[in-house]
Structure 1
């Protein structure tokens, strides 16, 4: 395994393979990364072939490559291909698994203050429908998830530990490996939302000890929008009920009986975009060829530079905290709301995003934040681009 730092020459080559880097300074990778040209070509060429040869005929021609998607994803997260379902996005993946859990009145769901809005909505729906209880583990004064508080919160009624590894509107990270050890010790179902993790941070589901992992393609994996995947550990697949079925999910034995398939594809349906599935596969392969360890090393390096430089700008407050931080850098500019900052940067061809309170509601409310500027780094970003962002912010502050 190559763990050496990406060289300047490699970064130049990777940028040359990504058309968008010549047009924009893109710091919105936590929203949607710029895809490599080969991913775009894979999708477009497949669509052209569908248009000229027919959809089913093209699928038959590329069946082996479509099936290889599951092997590539399994390599990415150290799973078995029979534990993978290809779906449209992380929210679909998360919802398919979560809503397949057999909740009973009095069951307890444990989560963190960093949980994403869609997942919180799922908890509240389960509370209304099944009478479950939701317990939130707050971060400590240093901004770290408290493993001790987690241990103290677990009871015989604890049904699920559901954790978002990297939150939407903060640069801190939740210790999912250590949480997994606790979940396994107590034999509690463990669900990890890794939508910001895959393609940025190395993932090993065996090391995490998770039962379920949900991932989107469009973020750090640099895959097309409308792609994602779900991992469900083989041993728990029968414990989750499929929310709906088609002839792909199950097969009819006779007119009165059916049998659900015995792998992870029971959680997907037959009809999906074959073009974007191949795009997802190509994006995963691209990340694997670079090495996710190397990607993570560069992301941390660049994010560290950005945070240091932001902290030296009078009028800018960096909001990231915690022992381990990722490529998402959040900050605010005194006297200028986040949307205005985003708009002014866009005029300079610099993409950032705005993190709203609703995206990570518990955390944002606790820290009295209504919105923040989110600049999310990827390996194809450069120090020169960081300097452009800093200079643009200095100009915004000077012109207030």
Structure 2
């Protein structure tokens, strides 16, 4: 398979000396992102204060993310992490009798379960949809989401094994039951197309350090405008106010749209990085990236099995994102060994995750799987 994005590889210095296949944990940093961060630092060094310029960069990042997911800029808020977003949303809910059920799945990232379980003391009834053979059958949503469900909280792509869910189909089910749909898109934003309007997503959270090719410190919250206007966040701050520069300590006036969920000063350097990274993703096109990664995912599945590795999760690339998980006892130790051999993969519990992005090649994946098979066979 020819590499359609070979001309972009020079933007990622790490690829000159290492095989970087850990986008599910941290995407490779490009020169454009590095230059954007340097721009932020240099402006501080030379001007001393760059507040206005930095605020503009935050707005650019919001607009870029809105375009990435088919939303409007006023439907986007920025917070420090996806965990912050989940906590902010959870504490904004009222758990009333007859409408107090929270439905999530046992395949979601632990933060999700932790946040929802913490709401039990406030009246939430938390229910976990169980996985079956490393996937969540679509019919389980019909069974577990009931008329008393307030919000259904799910991942688009599973962090552990790459299983991808049909968000549009799930949205139809949960909305018919009278539930809101909250999607964790941390493992999908930047690698698969997302259109929040066509998918009918009520709330979505995504961070910048994985497939969005940024750094930690900034996460994006999407919420439908008509929904946001009804909510009054209990976690707030001056950036969540209608006029944050008014400095009126006696008035609480939530900002319009999703911005009311913002709290304090965001990580400006992360905003610079996010703007540059999203610009690159939009330039290439997520549809194009997704098509290429689907080919890489199928190759990873096929070649991994050919080398005797045990796939964890779906065996078809159509049911997963770019990441493929292989069973590996002592995965953390194996990750370290692979790193010593200049191959960056990501361990979780008893799996090694191979997660390419558009800058990777089939030959890199082949070399990584060869090395992984060798390491596993010598353990």
Confirm or deny a common fold (TM above 0.5): yes
Q: Name 1:311's counterpart in structure 2.
A: 305
Distance 2:27 2:289 in 1: 14
Q: Name 2:114's counterpart in structure 1.
A: 121
Q: Name 1:214's counterpart in structure 2.
A: 205
- Residue in structure 2 matching 1:78, options 59, 64, 70: 70
How many Å apart are 1:63 and its aligned residue? 4.8
- Residue in structure 1 matching 2:277, options 280, 283, 294: 283
- Residue in structure 2 matching 1:92, options 84, 87, 102: 84
Q: Does 1:340 align with 2:319?
A: no
- Residue in structure 2 matching 1:179, options 156, 170, 178: 170
How many Å apart are 1:66 and its aligned residue? 3.6
- Residue in structure 2 matching 1:18, options 12, 23, 28: 12
Residues 282-322 of structure 1: CA distance to partner in whole angstroms, max 9, x if unpaired?
111110110001111111111211111111123x2111217
Q: Secondary structure at the match of 1:91?
A: helix
Mean alpha-carbon deviation: is it higher for 242-251 or for 151-160?
242-251
User: Please, what is the CA RMSD of the aligned residues?
Assistant: 2.2
Distance 2:57 2:217 in 1: 19
Residues 106-146 of structure 1: CA distance to partner in whole angstroms, max 9, x if unpaired?
6111122311100101121111x1232222223445x5433
TM-score in terms of structure 1 length: 0.87
TM-score in terms of structure 2 length: 0.92
Distance 1:348 1:36 in 2: 22
Distance 2:359 2:132 in 1: 34
Q: Describe the shift of the 1:73–1:130 C-alpha distance in structure 2 as closer, same or farther (beyond 3 A).
A: same
Contact 1:94/1:193 (<8 A) preserved: no
How many Å apart are 1:183 and its aligned residue? 2.4
Q: Describe the shift of the 1:395–1:244 C-alpha distance in structure 2 as closer, same or farther (beyond 3 A).
A: closer
Distance 1:254 1:313 in 2: 65
Residues 27-57 of structure 1: CA distance to partner in whole angstroms, max 9, x if unpaired?
11100001211011101121111122022xx
Distance 1:34 1:239 in 2: 39
Matched ranges for 1:255-274 at <5 A: 256-274=250-268
Q: Name 2:370's counterpart in structure 1.
A: 391
Q: Name 1:51's counterpart in structure 2.
A: 45
Q: Describe the shift of the 1:340–1:54 C-alpha distance in structure 2 as closer, same or farther (beyond 3 A).
A: same
How many Å apart are 1:234 and its aligned residue? 0.7
Distance 1:288 1:265 in 2: 23
Q: Name 2:342's counterpart in structure 1.
A: 349
Q: Name 2:231's counterpart in structure 1.
A: 240
Contact 1:101/1:239 (<8 A) preserved: no
Q: Secondary structure at the match of 1:248?
A: helix
Distance 1:45 1:245 in 2: 30
* Structure 1 gap segments, 5+ residues each: 1-5, 357-370
Distance 1:190 1:394 in 2: 40
Q: Name 1:38's counterpart in structure 2.
A: 32
How many Å apart are 1:154 and its aligned residue? 3.1
How many Å apart are 1:169 and its aligned residue? 0.8
Contact 1:104/1:130 (<8 A) preserved: no
Q: Name 1:363's counterpart in structure 2.
A: none
Q: Name 1:359's counterpart in structure 2.
A: none
Q: Name 2:59's counterpart in structure 1.
A: 67
Mean alpha-carbon deviation: is it higher for 388-397 or for 10-19?
388-397
Contact 1:166/1:172 (<8 A) preserved: yes
* Structure 2 gap segments, 5+ residues each: none
Q: Secondary structure at the match of 2:92?
A: coil
Q: Secondary structure at the match of 1:31?
A: coil
Q: Describe the shift of the 1:348–1:150 C-alpha distance in structure 2 as closer, same or farther (beyond 3 A).
A: same
Say how many residue pairs are matched.
Answer: 373
Distance 1:253 1:383 in 2: 55
Distance 1:61 1:341 in 2: 44
How many Å apart are 1:398 and its aligned residue? 4.8
How many Å apart are 1:194 and its aligned residue? 0.5
Q: Secondary structure at the match of 1:109?
A: strand
Q: Describe the shift of the 1:397–1:179 C-alpha distance in structure 2 as closer, same or farther (beyond 3 A).
A: closer
